[in-house]
Amino acid sequence: MNSRHTVVESPLGQITLVAIDDALMGLYFPHHWYMPSMDTFGNRVEALDDAVFSAAAIQLDEYFRGDRTSFDLKTATRGDLFQEQVWALLKDIPSGETTTYGELAEELGNKSLAQQVGKAVGQNPLCIIVPCHRVVGKGGKLTGYAGGIPRKQFLLELEESEDARAARLLVDAGKLF
């Protein structure tokens, strides 16, 4: 098993990418809520010298430039059955759209699972790639993001449509007066 990691720069600061063999296993920000011990990340390598990291770095750069809305990377996660079900649902949330923890719980068949869904979303090891930032609280409230609320807001604003951006700017401008 070839476990390794790299660090890439982004508009959100440094991002640590973790891979095992030919699959991306983790994407973490500094001070990430649920970051595994660095001891489990393997040796640090240069992103450009590694096919998995090079592809991830290129696609992340395209995403941050607004040229990509989803990722085409081989990934692998090691969650329990419930976490894997939640993370699979996250992959289906289209760019520029959001859903709530309660709506995800309903998709799993039980609205009362919203709190457990929130915990699973927070433990997503591939944030951005598996778009957990697209999950918001009831009424659209920005709640919990393992990388921090400012990063979540940045990602949501990056993905919003021109119409949504214009409407948000009008609302924000109205708050000034």
Of 132, 135, 155, 156, catalytic: 132
Domain of residue 24, CATH code: 3.30.160
Same domain for 93 and 148:
yes
Same domain for 105 and 50:
no
C-alpha–C-alpha distance, residues 26 and 36, integer Å: 9
Task: Give kind and range of the element (H or E) at residue 18.
Answer: strand 15-20
Q: Is 73 contained in some domain? A: no
Q: Give the per-residue pLDDT at 39.
A: 86
State in Å, rounded, how far the first CA of the chain is from the last one.
59
Q: Is 175 contained in some domain? A: no
Q: Is 174 contained in some domain? A: no
Q: Give the per-residue pLDDT at 162.
A: 67
Q: Domains in the chain: how many in total?
A: 2
Residue 55's domain comprises 3-65
Q: Is 75 contained in some domain? A: no
Residues of the chain with pLDDT under 50: none
132 flagged as catalytic: yes
DSSP state letters, 89-131 = HHHTSPTT--EEHHHHHHHTT-GGGHHHHHHHHHT-TBTTTS-
Alpha carbons within 13 A on the beta-carbon side of 109: 2
| pTM of full prediction above 0.85 | yes
Same domain for 101 and 32:
no
Q: Give the per-residue pLDDT at 36.
A: 84
CB 4 within 8 A of CB 46: no
